[in-house]
Chains A and B, each alone.
Chain A
Amino acid sequence: MANNLMSRNMFPPLLAPGMRHIFVQFFDLKEHAPQYTHYMNEMTSEDAYEIDYELSGTGPMPLMPEGTRPQTDGILQGGTKKYVHLQYGLLSEVTRQLIADDKYGIIKRVPSAHARGGLFGREAAAASLFNLGGTSITTTNGATLFNTAQPLMGGSSATTTAPNISTIINSPGTYPNRPTPDTDESFTAIQQAINMFTLQPDDRGIPVHVRPKWLIHAPQNRWITREILGSPGKPNTANNDLNSLIAENLQGLELNYLTSPSGWGLVANKEGHQMKFYDREPLMAQTDDDFKTQVLLFLSTQRFSVGASSWRGVFFSYGP
């Protein structure tokens, strides 16, 4: 039930002294600290939209036998990614009488509630890159952000050139950043994901250096994450092997805005990936009133866009 016009008859206890304590959720319940700031590249924008463009490098330098002309090669263009900033807004309407008669000064703090709702919007939109990245969020190559076959600009020549990826790729000319099939978070699954990270070439087939930093997971996977990243020995075995994942220095990043309990993924540091958060207009609180009705209007708005220009530096699995 939404409350479209807050008036005195909706909050009778606020109109008289005598309440020992009023448990107000929007400031008595602590909200999560911002999470998207850990994994999103945050930028500002002054335009209606931003467009990113992706270009490859050249291919490997081939042999040039004596007295012969060299082979020629140039860079290739990929697609563009358009970030259209979307407006978010929330309005609360309060009668002036309620503001005046509220003995506890709670109603006038409504903008604080808006701030929580605004942060949720940012977090949920940012997390949608993971939640929807396997189905409907696309990057410059037109494929979904997390895909078992990201098409490379260089096509099959790229995967022919790239060394040691025949057991990684699912089809020539593509490279995965999602397992086939999707897996649950486990010691072995993370190792396979790191292999995908480590062996990946650029779009012409030249290996690139990219390392995962964050292990993204839902709260339900907090326990398995601690076991995998924190066990001194190889987790869940009776053997005396070292836990080889410790040297990877992965850090768990628990997100409260993932919609799947079994989804998990790896994200490189901010320089290593292209997930972006464009802040067009920060959260702004405005107050006005309707002259005729003396209804106070609390309006909070923000405008931003999220997206990913490239699948590089990110990996995600949606569970089995």
Chain B
Amino acid sequence: MAAFADAIEPNQDLGGAVSFPISYAVEEAAQTFVYGVPVQINSTGIGTADGGVAIWDGAGLVAQIAGFSAQAANNLASTGAGAPVGFSPILGPGSVIGSYAANANQPLAVITPPMVPITDGFSYFFVAAPTTVFIGKLGTSATVTPVATTNAQVGLAFGLTKDTGNPFWYVDTNKTGANAAVRIVGLSPLDPVGTVGGHVLFVVLNAVAQIFD
């Protein structure tokens, strides 16, 4: 079981004052994804169609990758639980992770310890905008192993695949053509060319980006 992928993060911005556009939407129920993985917004024809941010299903390549998660999911009981509406406070306990029951006679009451993550019902992600260059590891799902970087990979389009040994995703040289989701635009300057499992810089293909095309 391989475990070589790590977080996909924005690395360069091709223009504009804001380095990496971040967007948000209500978090889909029961999500357990981590920071730095591709996410989709469940809309008509995509997932449960309730507007929730969910981990990308790994297959949909027509306007389906909204971006890459900027925070871990909170495993909400229902989509958007606690999200404020208009001018309101957070409509929930403010935390889900770490909260535990308080009193047998008050079945809905919870104790929320300090230092657990804040839950506002939203999930934030780095938008898969054409001006945002992301960085991720290179591998192949054919053998589920990391792949050495070469200068000739720049300009090629590959897919994204979830690692079998950890929750992260990698740029998959085994997915090309109609299965491609991203295009490599450079190699990480911190990894010598030829590094097996080196990092590559990439953008999400316009046709695959969900909320930016």
Contacts and interface: CB of A to CB of B under 8 A. Distances in A.
Interface of A: 48-49, 51, 53, 76-84, 86, 120-121, 124-125, 128, 132, 136-138, 140-143, 151-155, 173, 290, 305-307
Given A78-B106, A151-B106, 11 more contacts: A51-B114, A79-B102, A79-B103, A82-B90, A82-B112, A84-B89, A120-B87, A128-B87, A136-B85, A142-B110, A155-B105
B110 A154 contact: no
Given A49-B94, A84-B94, A84-B118, A121 B106 contact: no
A49 B111 CA distance: 15
Interface in B109-165: 109-112, 114, 118, 120
B88 A82 contact: no
Contacts of A138: 91-93, 108
Given A49-B94, A82-B94, A82-B95, A153 B106 contact: yes
B86 to A, nearest CB: 7
A78 B102 contact: yes
Contact of A86 (B84, B102, B109, B114): B84
B87 A125 contact: yes
A141 B102 CA distance: 9
B interface: dominant SS: loop
Nearest to A47: B114
A209 to B, nearest CB: 23
B15 to A, nearest CB: 12
A124 B112 contact: no
A137 B102 contact: no
B110 A80 contact: yes
Contact of B102 (A80, A84, A143, A290): A80
Contacts of A307: 89
B71 to A, nearest CB: 14
B103 A77 contact: yes
A81 B114 CA distance: 11
Given A78-B102, A78-B103, A84-B118, A136 B109 contact: no
A84 B109 CA distance: 17
A42 B16 CA distance: 40
B107 interface: yes
Contacts of A128: 86-89
B109 A124 contact: no
Contacts of A53: 111
Contacts of A155: 104-105
B108 to A, nearest CB: 3
Contact of A141 (B91, B95, B109): B109
14 contacts: A76-B103, A80-B110, A86-B90, A121-B87, A140-B102, A141-B103, A141-B106, A141-B108, A142-B102, A142-B110, A143-B106, A151-B108, A151-B109, A306-B89
Given A86-B89, A137-B89, A305-B89, A154 B105 contact: yes
Contacts of A49: 94, 118
B103 A84 contact: no
A86 B114 CA distance: 17
Contacts of B108: 79, 138, 141-143, 151
Residue in A77, A80, A136, A137 whose Cβ sees the most chain B Cβ within 10 Å: A80
A306 B84 CA distance: 11
Nearest to A152: B105
A141 B120 CA distance: 19
A167 to B, nearest CB: 22
B89 A142 contact: no
Contact of B85 (A48, A81, A132): A132
Contact of A80 (B85, B88, B111, B120): B111
